[in-house]
Structure 1
Amino acid sequence: MFDNLRADLLAHRGDWGAQGFWALAVYRLGRWRYGIRPAWLRKPFSLLYKLLYKGVQILTGIELPCEVPLGPGFVIEHSGGIVVSGFARFGAHCRIRSGVVVGLSRVEDPCGPWIGDHVDIGAGAKVLGRIRIGNHVCIGANAVVLQDVPDHCIAVGVPAVIKPRRAAQEALPC
């Protein structure tokens, strides 16, 4: 857990005050508590996690349940209005911003998006449903992504239009 916290702090440029780091610290506690045996010993840590989770949710507007598998280098760039479904998955070095929703498209289909490595999701974007987002993908601000996005593409618009990245765009960090 502490190695992950150090890496999260580094990913947030060493800023202890970054609200995204707070959310990730609580997330790491939630993941860590699953390894505590026996169950009676885990219960106080579960209560602590639930209290901290709700506190972070109220203070920062970030909803990141500990059930979500996150790859290393996950960064929450700005806080506010961020909702991540417990059914979603993130690869390594992903970045999300304020107003992002990653979740279900229908309650009857409990399967969230699978996000690849090096994915940058712009402010206000919605990534919904049983879809896969490839590696090295940029999702534009306010885009609504309802379909798979292949590797090395961008998704922009409502509903999102998928476009291959041009050679000049390949140098971008996302």
Structure 2
Amino acid sequence: MSPSPGPFARIREDRAVYREGWWAQGLWALAIYRLAAARYARPRGIVRSLWGGAAKLGVKWVECVCGISLPDSATIGRRLRIEHFGGIIVHGATVIGDDCVLRQNVTLGNRSEDRPMEAPILGDRVQVGAGAVILGAVRIGDDAIIGANAVVLHDVPAGAVAVGNPARILERR
């Protein structure tokens, strides 16, 4: 098994899916995330602590400037595309697969204060529409589409479409 590529290789790979290149605020957020999350591969010590302080500043800068909350504790696959910046909230325990798309005003969060670490798991190639909310320990299957303004509180099978509030599942043809 080959070693995982470093953060700079991942950032170059991420950049390839952004039409705007380095001008895309979603790419800025993802680059800061990649650099911040890379510190977990280092052993505990002074370097990791200093890196952590710089990472927290970078994450806060992205939140203020881009309106994207992308914590370094989340697990994000390859080539995530944030189509339009602003109002994007991702819970720290969220898992996002490869080649996913998030649009503006998306929330991936927990559902209850009683279970604060329950967060969504998105499979590969999931598309999340503008204003969609996915809450709790729900699984979104590979190739699923979450419609704009959908509120997803239950699992969505692979290849399905979830629309409405609360979301109902439609099978794609």
Structure 2 length as normaliser, TM-score?
A: 0.93
Which residue of the other structure, out of 66, 82, 94, is the alignment partner of 1:88?
94
Q: Which moved more, 1:85-94 or 1:31-40?
A: 31-40
- State the partner residue of 2:48: 42
Which residues in structure 2 correspond to 1:12-161 (within 5 Å)? Answer: 12-13=18-19, 15-109=21-115, 110-161=117-168
C-alpha separation in 2, matches of 1:37 and 1:112:
27
Instruction: String of CA shifts for 1:61-108, please: whole Å, max 9, x gaps.
Output: 000001111111111111111000011111111000110000101121
- State the partner residue of 2:4: none
- Percent identity over the alignment is 43
C-alpha separation in 1, matches of 2:91 and 2:17:
22
1:13 Cα shift? 2.9
- Equivalenced residue count is 166
C-alpha separation in 2, matches of 1:38 and 1:104:
29
| Residues 43 and 154 (structure 1), Cα distance of their counterparts in 2 relative to 1, 3 Å cut | same
Instruction: String of CA shifts for 1:8-63, please: whole Å, max 9, x gaps.
Output: 11121361010000000110111111223351112221111111110110001000
- 2:19 partner amino acid: R
Structure 1 length as normaliser, TM-score?
A: 0.92
C-alpha separation in 1, matches of 2:44 and 2:79:
31
SS of 2:148 mapped into structure 1: coil
- 2:73 partner amino acid: E
Question: C-alpha root-mean-square deviation of aligned residues, in Å?
Answer: 1.1
C-alpha separation in 1, matches of 2:89 and 2:52:
21
